[in-house]
Chains A and B, each alone.
Chain A
Amino acid sequence: MPITAPIAPQAAPLLPRRNRKAQRAEARAGLFFALPWIIGMTIFVALPLIVTFYIAQTKFQIVGAPKWVGLQNYEALLRDPAFWKSAQNTLIFAAISVPLKLIIALGLALLLNRATALLGFYRTVFYLPFLMPAVAGSVVFMLLLTPNAGPVNIALEAMGLNPPDWLLDPKAALWTLILLSLWPLGVETLVFLGGLQNIPKDVSEAADLDSPKRWHKLVWITLPLITPMVLFNLVIGIIYSFQVFTQAIVIGGTTGTPAESTLMYMVVLYRAAFRYFNMGLAAAMATVLFVVVLILTLLIFKTARSWVHYEGGET
């Protein structure tokens, strides 16, 4: 007893010191593993972002050195009607296409979740459009929607309807663009499907025992349990819809024909950069877009705490 007593206090500090050493080694190893990602992130994301913020406050035409002009580019933006028109179009586009896309993708996922035998086949079919280049897809839709010879209008006329000129009627063109944006929704559908299939079978059965109505289960059990996927699709959807470009430029060119009705924010940005070589203005537009999307995303994340449930699939 008296022999062991003095040893204990000496032995005690040894262990924590070894632990601290092990912890440091582990942190170092972790850093090494993350290093490729950190380098890539710095070179391809952080640096361009900082350079963009800088160029936004310069006059820069690709050739020659950028010249510091302060906030002049932002002032020019505020006076540019194309900026306001494209911002308005983009907001309308995002406000309609994002929720519409989520609802349709969810509906498809719910249907797919019930198909068991052909699930793999359907999953592939729904994912295929995503693999097709957006330009090719847009061109196909332009052919389909051609006023007189396009199959869509021929079919609609055969049904006795009076279809619009999808691409050239200023009232219809933005809607055509929205419809077009709904086409490749394979990713959203698959994300929802993943969420649905992650709901434990017995939880779903418990809900069947609690109420015979399908919509009860959908509203109170299924939807809350896939809210993490709703959040993901919502945030990604907003980011993508604010940056809609390919379909817009294929359909409306750089002027947003007809009558600037399909003029999107990214098209104006592209025009400023590569038609007028006004890199400063384009960078200012990019900065504004970045800030707006960032604020929107942060707002969504802030509200997410009250409506997103992360407990699904745990019990």
Chain B
Amino acid sequence: MGAVQLSGLRKFYGALEVIKGVDLAVNAGELVVFVGPSGCGKSTLLRMIAGLEDVDYGRIDIAGKDVTEAPPAQRGVAMVFQNYALYPHMTAYDNLAYGLRRAGLARDAVDQRVKETAALLQITELLPRKPKAMSGGQRQRVAIGRAIVRKPEVFLFDEPLSNLDAALRVEMRSQIARLHQELAATMIFVTHDQVEAMTLADRIVVLNAGRVEQIGTPREVYHRPANLFVAGFIGSPAMNLLPASLGAGGVTLASGPVLGGPTGTGAAVTLGVRPDRLSLAPPEAAHLSGAAKLIEHLGDETILHLHLDDGAALTLKLAGDVAVTLGARVHARIDMTGACLFGADGRALRPLPAP
């Protein structure tokens, strides 16, 4: 399994720069997830690695070889597409065998590899069927099989689960995680679904507008976002970002309350607090107050959206089924454990201790 090295990658569509200088090293055997909002360039970046998009500037190395100008089939990559992209006129068996046959593998060797792969993915009974006669989940398993059978240096997944229904998505997600462990394969996975990103990734690459915002393990990205964008993007419901300043008594909210923590001389900061670090409190102990404008009862937890007195929004994630009526006045207290601080430039200040 090979490592992937991206150096100074840039890509233009006409005058529009869609990839603005990406440097990234994916280690051999690592599963890296590209995540970001629509149009952030994550799919384009993946397609550049696959060789399906030209590189305007920069260099791509796969398994120690410069493949920047190499055709897709000679990069040692295999790709799983969002719409499966199976050859519709071929059976699942032929879909898996096609690449091996074209590479000149002997008939017996092809047969053995196809059957091994089919057994690994539990798709043996699908082999004689054409894609038309399969469900979405079955097609995607065959598409993954077509990638695995070629024993590539790197697997590329372009939002492979987004066309599947919720239950199937969870199942396929765990299957991909299992494959990653069994094959010890290098995988790059593109998704806009942060749950997929958090659960699958060894490391997450957060992209925004063609730039890398942060690279880190799921826990790093979640607990220590490098900037306001990552803080707002990772985590659902999103982190609360509150205007504050660093005073003599510590972090001071713009609305008045002093929360403690790092002190300063009044520099403006943004305080980031995860919704689960907020709790209901009696008025005298509360830091923030507002009216409940939306209540989501999820059974084991309650998501409470507040309209604060100063007009800002605040989201609380409370354990259990909390009885709050719409429009009721709610008082919340901030637990500073795991809170984040961002400077005026939007970048994280020295992170507070993680929980």
- Give the B-binding residues of A (Cβ under 8 A): 200, 202-203, 205-213, 216, 220-221, 224-225, 309, 311-315
Given A205-B72, A311-B131, A311-B132, check contact A211 B85 (CB 8 Å): no
Within 170-202 of B, Cβ neighbours of A (below 8 Å) are at none
- With A205-B85, A311-B132, A314-B132 as contacts: A220 and B79 at CB distance below 8 Å: no
From residue A212, how far is it (CB to closest CB) to chain B in Å?
Answer: 4
The answer to whether B89 touches A211, judged by C-beta atoms less than 8 angstroms apart, is no
Query: In whole angstroms, what is the CA distance A203 to B79 when docked?
Result: 11
In this complex, which of B74, B102, B150 has the most chain A Cβ atoms within 10 angstroms of its Cβ? B102
Residues of B within 8 A of A315 (CB): 83-86, 88, 131-132, 139
Chain A neighbourhood of B102, CB < 8 A: 210-211, 213, 216, 220
A-B contact pairs, 12 of them (CB 8 A): A200-B85, A203-B85, A203-B86, A208-B51, A209-B51, A211-B73, A212-B72, A213-B102, A220-B102, A309-B88, A314-B88, A315-B88
For the complex, count residues of B whose C-beta is within 8 A of A: 29
CB contact under 8 A between A207 and B81, given known A212-B71, A212-B73, A311-B131: no
**Shortest beta-carbon distance from A311 to chain B in Å:** 4
Which residues of chain A are near B52, meaning CB under 8 Å? 205, 208-209
Bound-complex Cα distance A212 to B131 (A):
24
Within 8 A of A (CB), among B117-136: 130-132
**Complex: A225 Cα to B102 Cα, angstroms:** 18
Query: Cβ of B139 and Cβ of A208 under 8 Å apart?
Result: no
CB distance from B254 to the nearest CB of A (A): 49
> How many angstroms from the CA of A173 to the CA of B88 in the assembled complex?
45
Q: Is the CB of B89 within 8 A of A311?
A: yes
B85 near A206 with CB under 8 A, answer yes
The CA-CA distance from A203 to B88 in the complex, in Å, is: 9
12 additional contacts, CB 8 Å, given A211-B103, A311-B130?
A200-B83, A202-B82, A205-B52, A205-B79, A205-B85, A208-B71, A209-B50, A209-B78, A212-B72, A212-B73, A225-B89, A311-B131
CB neighbours of B72 from chain A (8 A): 205, 208-209, 212
Shortest CB-to-CB span from B96 to chain A, Å, is: 10
Does any Cβ of A come within 8 Å of B99's Cβ? yes
B87–A207 touching, CB < 8 Å: yes
**Is B81 a contact of A208 with CB atoms below 8 Å?**
no
Closest to B84 in A: A315
User: Which residues on the B side are within 8 Å of A221 (C-beta)?
Assistant: 87
Answer whether A312 and B50 are a contact pair too, CB < 8 Å, given A200-B83, A211-B102, A216-B102: no
CB of B98 within 8 Å of the partner chain: yes
CB closest chain-B residue, reference A199: B88
Residue B314 at the chain A interface, CB threshold 8 Å: no
Say how far B87's CB is from chain A's closest CB, in angstroms.
6
Report the minimum CB–CB distance from B196 to chain A (whole Å).
20
Give CA–CA (A207, B77) in the complex, Å. 13
Chain B positions within 8 Å of A309 at CB level: 88-89
Output the nearest chain B residue to A216 by Cβ-Cβ distance.
Answer: B102
Q: Which partner residue on chain B sits nearest A202 by CB separation?
A: B85
CA distance A213 to B98 in the complex (A): 13
Find chain A residues with CB under 8 A from B71 CB: 208, 212
- Complex-state Cα separation, A120 to B18, whole angstroms: 28
Chain B neighbourhood of A206, CB < 8 A: 79, 81, 85-87, 146
